[in-house]
Copies of this chain bind each other. A is one copy, B any other.
């Protein structure tokens, strides 16, 4: 495999997930605006991120773009704007089940081959006290996370159970990514 693999994301969670499976890749975040209004948008945004990274390089690469949103009822929760927004999101999620959707887009700069898909998981939170939510916001962890929590961090104490793919909740389904990469000639095992 001569081609470099690039993760077009600034998310430490995604980076760690892909490092955990021994994938050798570069991280190259692209500055795509994430104004998501429809659930269908996330696959396009994931692809835009991959294409954005492609413009920055002059060598052949397989680029992985990704995007994550949280939905509850008809609401779409992206990253909170501020502490108050984070508080309201966590207040909404407490004691209920929500969905996490993460899109994966993989783009081969040499062949132009593109695959995009998304994975959905359910997450059930225990009831949250307002004091806990404030303490959690004080850790700083929720402020750059879709839905205002990180399941791989302190936020894990809120998570009673999940149904579906875990890594998808962190930010990218490892299972699905490995499956797609295989189709691009990249084998994990």
User: Given that A162-B162, A162-B166, A166-B162 are known contacts, is A157 also in contact with B188, CB under 8 Å in the complex?
Assistant: yes
Q: Is A167 an interface residue (CB 8 A)?
A: yes
Taking CB atoms, residues of chain B closer than 8 Å to A152 are 20
Taking CB atoms, residues of chain B closer than 8 Å to A161 are 121, 163-165
- The count of identical subunits is 2
> Among the listed B17, B166, B175, which residue makes an inter-chain contact with A166, where contact means beta carbons less than 8 Å apart?
B166
Stretch at the interface among A45-53, A63-71, A78-86, A131-139: A131-139
Q: Is A189 an interface residue (CB 8 A)?
A: yes
A96 to chain B minimum Cβ distance, whole angstroms, is 15
Taking CB atoms, residues of chain B closer than 8 Å to A178 are 157
User: Given that A136-B189, A154-B22 are known contacts, is A160 also in contact with B165, CB under 8 Å in the complex?
Assistant: yes
Bound together, the chains give a CA A82 to CA B110 distance in angstroms of 44
Bound together, the chains give a CA A147 to CA B161 distance in angstroms of 21
Interface readout for A131-174 with B: 1 if CB under 8 Å, 0 if not? Answer: 01001100100000000000111101111111111110000001
User: Given that A163-B163, A164-B162 are known contacts, is A157 also in contact with B126, CB under 8 Å in the complex?
Assistant: no
Taking CB atoms, residues of chain B closer than 8 Å to A160 are 165, 175
Pairs A–B under 8 Å by Cβ, sample size 30 = A17-B156, A20-B152, A20-B153, A20-B154, A20-B156, A21-B153, A21-B156, A21-B157, A22-B139, A22-B154, A121-B161, A132-B189, A135-B189, A136-B189, A139-B189, A154-B189, A156-B166, A156-B167, A157-B175, A157-B178, A157-B188, A157-B189, A158-B175, A159-B174, A159-B175, A160-B175, A161-B164, A161-B165, A162-B165, A166-B166
Instruction: Name A's B-contacting residues (CB within 8 A).
Output: 17, 20-22, 121, 126, 132, 135-136, 139, 151-154, 156-167, 174-175, 178, 188-189
